[in-house]
Amino acid sequence: MHHDYFLPWHQRTLIWQFVRREVLTRYRGSLLGLGWAFLTPLLMLSVYTFVFRGIFNARWSGGATGDFEFALQVYAGLIVFSLFAEVTTRAPRLVLDEPNLVKKVVFPLEILPWVAVLAGLIHLALNLAALLAAAAIARGGLSLSVLALPLVLAPFVPLLLALGWFLGALGVFVRDMQQVTALLVSLLMFLSPVFYPVSSLPSRWQPWLEANPLTPVIEQLRRVALDGLWPAWPQLALHLAIASALAWAAARWFAATRKGFADVL
């Protein structure tokens, strides 16, 4: 079972077909096409920067000053958050939306979270490229530490897969999961260090924020992409271990409940 779930290499053709379809459906037929992948975060970023800097007069603690610098820090957080938000809001419908694949054909349903995560990662890669380009222009160059970006994102993948398997299976039986995840996502936007660094919080709140699984990803991403530092290795290893354990548990849950899918779809 484990290699069907964690290394679905033999399903690569199928996964690729689905990822392609996923990415293309989003932009096919729209006038701007792939332009939306950049335009949406850019517009959101301008509004956030205007609200937080222009109205609330927020400052990025830790030395970074200026509107552009603030925007870069928020962009780094938003990139991570929007992938999380996308996977989490879609997860309860992953299986629910494909009754034909559950009932009419023999289909490896466990790859559906992979499809959602890989499609999201393509999106993330585009935005990451935009972030690095902006950072390079603002600073006149990039630090070598950007090479560690794939490592920093590595624990994020099992975490998202875990959400996909857990919510994907639960959503089939409990139809109100979509409302729950939508609410959770909008709360987490402000409970994650997207618009502020963890260090700006009073120290008694900081441990609580560290419990948020998005915190280490966002903080590490800023570290390697914007601050020119290498990742905090022990924290990265711990995070990877926790995320993998969650993914393993979620895969077990999915495998145990999937025989009931066909009965209720």
Binding stretches for other proteins (CB under 8 A): 13-14, 16-18, 20-21, 25, 28, 100-101, 103-107, 170, 172-175, 256-257, 259-260, 262-264
Measured from the CB atom, the residue of 125 and 174 that comes closer to other proteins is 174
Measured from the CB atom, the residue of 153 and 251 that comes closer to other proteins is 251
Least gap, CB of 166 to other proteins (angstroms): 13
Tokens linked to 249? 């548990």
Tokens linked to 154? 């590595």
Least gap, CB of 255 to other proteins (angstroms): 12
Least gap, CB of 61 to other proteins (angstroms): 46
Least gap, CB of 251 to other proteins (angstroms): 16
Measured from the CB atom, the residue of 21 and 139 that comes closer to other proteins is 21
- For the stretch 22-30, contacts whose Cβ atoms lie closer than 8 Å and that sit 24 or more positions apart, written own/partner, are 22/115, 22/116, 22/119, 23/119, 23/122, 23/123
- CB neighbours of 173 closer than 8 A, spacing ≥ 6? 257, 260, 264
Measured from the CB atom, the residue of 103 and 139 that comes closer to other proteins is 103
Cβ atoms of 236 and 151 within 8 Å: the answer is: yes
Least gap, CB of 184 to other proteins (angstroms): 20
Measured from the CB atom, the residue of 20 and 139 that comes closer to other proteins is 20
Tell me the C-alpha distance between 190 and 170, whole Å: 26
Cβ atoms of 79 and 128 within 8 Å: the answer is: yes
Tokens linked to 159? 């975490």
Measured from the CB atom, the residue of 79 and 102 that comes closer to other proteins is 102
Comparing CA positions, the residue from 95, 89, 245 lying closest to residue 178 is 89
Comparing CA positions, the residue from 207, 221, 222 lying closest to residue 156 is 221
Looking at residue 117, its amino acid is: V
User: What's the half-sphere exposure (Cβ side, CA atoms, 13 Å) at 55?
Assistant: 7
Measured from the CB atom, the residue of 94 and 218 that comes closer to other proteins is 94
Least gap, CB of 183 to other proteins (angstroms): 19
3 state DSSP class of 61 = coil
Looking at the chain, how many residues does it have? 265
- CB neighbours of 153 closer than 8 A, spacing ≥ 6? 121, 124, 217, 221
Least gap, CB of 256 to other proteins (angstroms): 7
